[in-house]
Amino acid sequence: MILPEMTHYLGPDVTGAAIGARMEEFAGAGIKHLQLNPKDLQRMKDDPEYRREMFYQADKNKLTIRDAHAPHQVEDSLGVPVPVELVIKSQLNAIEIAGSLGLTTLTIHAGRTRRVGEFAQDYGLFPYVDLPAAEKRVCQALDVLIPAAEKNNCIIALENLFLPACTADFLTPIVEKYNHPNLGMCYDSGHALLVEAQEGKTSDDIAEWIRCGWDDDKVIFQSDQLDRMLNQVVTTHLHDNNGKNDQHLAPGDGVANWDSIIERLKKAPRLTTLQSELIGRLVVAPASDVVEWYKMFNI
């Protein structure tokens, strides 16, 4: 199949006249689609003038706003050991905003099931991972969120991360069990790299802030994440890293095998959109650079 056209973040805190200027730059470089981060998604609800300007400039520059990322703090993430009602409230709000904007996909995180140090926040310490309890909490949330997504005509995309309760191996069976058109998965290429074996890579090589989410600070490397989730992938977060830390680099600046990723994504039966997910200086880079980084996807 031919891959969908890529979507991109407009950039952090783009407001006022900068919205039109940035969209004009994107359109001039051949970019056609935009995605919203959690902050901008909420702002589209809270600030009517911002929303009007975003849609006006998008229409003027023949751009579509197509995808969004839902809030992903601790209390927003499915499966995390906090009251499920908190997660449901946060994500229902995001789904309703996505529906009001006519978005195609809303990417949602699953969360930590082991909380140590700074990650304990206000909810206390959990020294060990409890995957059965996490699965129960994820399903409790999805029982409410899936009907809301269906009502709002958007697809929830559960994202693979780099912790036990958010790998493809954990999330894919849940998605398969529901077998619902408004529930799929977001393949995050950088996150997949972190939990996949590489020659010579050990758990001690993985960044400490990631290791501390695993029992005894030991990352258990898993099978190919894209192969595991391919049949349920509806969207992507495409970025690169060194296989040891979540760097969100431009494709080609890390160790990802992009030829293999592209060939398999072409076979994903549910793939609807592609999203880039660069951070830092890369988000505000010239649009021509963004196009160059993703030209392998025929942006």
pLDDT of 82: 81
Instruction: Tell me, yes or no, whether 289 lies in a domain.
Output: yes
Write the pLDDT tens digit of every residue in 2-40.
Answer: 899 999 998 877 888 899 999 999 999 999 999 999 999
Q: What percent of the chain has pLDDT over 70?
A: 96
On the question of pLDDT at 122 being above 70, the answer is no
Write the pLDDT tens digit of every residue in 224-271.
Answer: 999 999 999 999 999 999 999 999 999 999 999 999 999 999 999 999
Instruction: Tell me, yes or no, whether 1 lies in a domain.
Output: no
Q: What percent of the chain has pLDDT over 90?
A: 80
- What mean pLDDT comes out for the span 192-199? 94
Structure tokens at 87: 């997660």
Give how many domains the chain has, as a whole number. Answer: 1
Write the pLDDT tens digit of every residue in 277-287.
Answer: 998 777 778 99
Q: Is 128 exposed, middle or buried (0-12, 13-18, 19+ CB in 10 A)?
A: exposed
Domain range for 280 is 6-294
Instruction: Tell me, yes or no, whether 299 lies in a domain.
Output: no
Q: Residue 116's CB: how many other CB atoms inside 10 A?
A: 13
Instruction: Tell me, yes or no, whether 17 lies in a domain.
Output: yes
Residue 204 has what DSSP assignment? G
CATH number at residue 259: 3.20.20.150
